[in-house]
């Protein structure tokens, strides 16, 4: 990756994730792990060609399958670092959903660490509400409506409610 979008995205996700975590009164060690994980959650995208990452329009099934490998690649990279906190595990689960429809492992419910649930919400909101290399922002309102729609099925209700609160749309 040679563009500047990924670090900007990760810093914005980290800021929102920390706000959500603080609202939920997450302990200091878990908050630190969440912050570190958010700052590097997409590191595995380094293995994906920029032409696919920045492609305007719909990805092919093959391209989307390749994109989905970034969570496992990120885990593999981070798991080689001797963190005292579960940073790699949080990153590995940042595309998992409560109903088991996420990736890469299809985890469901309590199999997903609370910090990963927070990261998922923050990542969705940031991804939708900011310009992406391949499309303009859909807006904060659309992002918040989307997490409300997914609340309780795919997304952790407490993380969604905390996000709505910190974004000024208390549930």
Q: Which residues are catalytic?
A: 45
Closest C-alpha among 96, 104, 126 to residue 10: 126
The span from the first CA to the last CA of the chain, in angstroms, equals: 38
- By the 8 A CB rule, do 101 and 150 touch? no
Distance of CA 105 to the CA centre of its chain: 15
d(CA 49, CA 47): 7
d(CA 93, CA 73): 12
Compute φ and ψ for 8, nearest 5 degrees: -65, -45
How many of the other CB atoms lie within 10 Å of CB of 163? 29
d(CA 25, CA 78): 26
């Amino acid at each position: 990756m040679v563009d500047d979008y990924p670090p900007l995205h990760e810093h914005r996700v980290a800021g929102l994730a920390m706000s959500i975590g603080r609202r939920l009164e997450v302990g200091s060690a878990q908050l630190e792990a969440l912050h570190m994980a958010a700052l590097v959650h997409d590191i595995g995208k380094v293995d994906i060609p920029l032409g696919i990452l920045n492609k305007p329009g719909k990805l092919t099934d093959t391209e989307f399958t390749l994109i989905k490998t970034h969570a496992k690649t990120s885990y593999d990279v981070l798991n080689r670092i001797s963190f005292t906190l579960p940073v790699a595990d949080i990153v590995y689960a940042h595309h998992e959903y409560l109903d088991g429809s996420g990736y890469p492992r299809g985890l469901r419910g309590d199999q997903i660490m609370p910090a990963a649930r927070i990261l998922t919400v923050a990542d969705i909101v940031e991804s939708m509400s900011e310009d992406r290399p391949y499309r303009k922002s859909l807006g904060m309102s659309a992002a918040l409506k989307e997490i409300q729609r997914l609340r309780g099925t795919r997304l952790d209700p407490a993380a969604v409610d905390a996000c709505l609160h910190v974004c000024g749309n208390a549930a």
